Structure 1
Amino acid sequence: MPSAAVVGTGLIGTSIALALRGRGVTPYLLDRNPEAARTAAGLGAGVVGVPRTPVDLAVLAVPPQHVAATLHEYQLLGLADDFTDVASVKARPQEEAAELGCDLTRFVGGHPMAGREQSGPLAAQGDLFHGKPWVLTPHAGSLPRTLGRARELAELCGAVPVAMGHAEHDRAVALTSHTPHLVASLLATRLLHGDDSQLRLAGQGLRDVTRIAGGDAELWTEIIAANAPAVAEVLAEFALDLHEVVDALRDLGAGPPERHRAGRAHLTTALVRGVQGRARIPARAAGGLRLSGVAAGS
Structure 2
Amino acid sequence: MRTALVIGTGLIGTSAALALAARGVVVHLTDRDPEQARTAVALGAGTDAEPAGPVDLAIIAAPPAHVAAALADAMRGGLARGYLDVASVKGGPRRELEALGLDLSAYIGSHPMSGREKSGPLAATGDLFEGRPWVLTPTRDTDTEVLNLALELISHCRAVPVVMDADAHDRAVALVSHMPHLVSSMVAARLENAEEAAVRLCGQGIRDVTRIAASDPRMWIDILSANPGPVADLLADVSADLDETVQALRALQSSDQAKRREGTTGIKDVLRRGNAGQIRVPGKHGTAPTPYESVVVLIDDQPGQLARIFADADRAGVNIEDVRIEHATGQQIGLMELMVKPTAAPVLTAALRDRGWAIRQ
Bin for the TM-score computed over the shorter chain: over 0.9
Gaps of 5+ in 2: 288-361
Task: Please tell me whether the aligned partners of residues 57 and 80 of structure 1 are also in contact (alpha carbons under 8 angstroms).
Answer: yes
Structure 2 residue identity aligned to 1:281: V
Give the deviation of 1:103 after TM superposition. Answer: 2.2
Q: Greater shift after overlay, 162-171 or 247-256?
A: 247-256
Q: Secondary structure at the match of 1:152?
A: helix
Higher normalized strand content (fraction of residues): 2
Structure 1 contact 20–27 (Cα < 8 Å) conserved: yes
Contact 1:71 1:102 in 2 (8 A): no
Letter in 2 for 1:57: L
| Whole-Å separation in 1 of the counterparts to 2:238 and 2:75 | 42
**2:20 match:** 20
Which structure dedicates a bigger proportion of its chain to helix? 1
Q: Is 1:75 aligned to residue 75 of structure 2? A: yes
How much identity, in percent, do the aligned residues show?
52
Q: Secondary structure at the match of 1:81?
A: strand
Aligned-pair CA distance for 1:77: 1.6
1:87 and 2:87 matched:
yes
Q: Identify which range, 48-57 or 135-144, moves more after superposition.
A: 48-57
Report the counterpart of residue 294 of structure 1 in structure 2: none
Equivalent in the alignment of 2:257: 257
* Per-residue deviation, 1:101: 2.3
Q: Which one-letter code corresponds to 2:118 in the other structure?
A: Q
Aligned partners of 2:28 and 2:224: how far apart in 1? 29
Q: Measure, in 2, the Cα distance between the counterparts of 1:40 and 1:70.
A: 19
* Structure 1 position 282, deviation (Å): 1.1
Aligned pairs, how many?
A: 287
Q: 2:66 is aligned with what amino acid?
A: H
Instruction: Flag structure 1 segments of 5+ consecutive residues without an equivalent.
Output: 288-298
What amino acid does structure 2 have at the position aligned with 1:17? Answer: A
Three-state SS of the structure 2 residue aligned to 1:47 is coil
* RMSD of Structure 2 on Structure 1 (CA): 1.1
Q: Counterpart in 1 of 2:66?
A: 66
Structure 1 residue ranges, 4+ long, deviating more than 6 angstroms after superposition = none
Q: What TM-score results when the alignment is normalised by the length of structure 2?
A: 0.78
Deviation at 1:256, TM superposition (A): 2.8
| CA distance in 1: counterparts of 2:192 and 2:137, whole angstroms | 40
Q: Provide Cα deviations, 1:241-273, integer angstroms capped at 9, x if missing partner.
A: 111101000111246332011101110111111
Letter matched to residue 26 of structure 1: V
Tell me which residue corresponds to 2:214.
214
Which structure would you say has the larger Rg? Answer: 2
Q: Give the Cα–Cα distance (whole angstroms) in 1 for the partners of residues 219 and 94 of structure 2.
A: 19
Structure of higher RCO (CA pairs closer than 8 Å, 6+ residues apart): 1
1:143 is matched with 143
Aligned to 1:191, the other structure's residue is in SS state coil
- Paired position in structure 1 for 2:332: none
CA–CA distance in 2 between the matches of 1:63 and 1:49? 23
Could you tell me the TM-score, scaled by structure 1's length? Answer: 0.94
Greater alpha carbon shift after TM alignment, 190-199 vs 118-127: 190-199
* 1:112 equivalenced with 2:112 (yes/no): yes
Where 1:88 maps in the other structure, the secondary structure is coil
C-alpha deviation, 1:94, in angstroms: 0.1
After superposition, the C-alpha distances for 1:191-241 in whole angstroms (9 at most, x for unaligned) are 113111110000111111100001010110110110011111111111111
1:1-298 matches, within 5 Å, as 1-254=1-254, 256-284=256-284, 286=286
Aligned counterparts of 1:41 and 1:207: Cα–Cα separation in 2 = 34
1 CA distance for matches of 2:49 and 2:167?
Answer: 35
Once the 2 structures are TM-superposed, how far is the Cα of residue 171 of structure 1 from its aligned partner? 0.5
Inter-CA distance 77–276: structure 2 relative to 1 (3 Å threshold): same
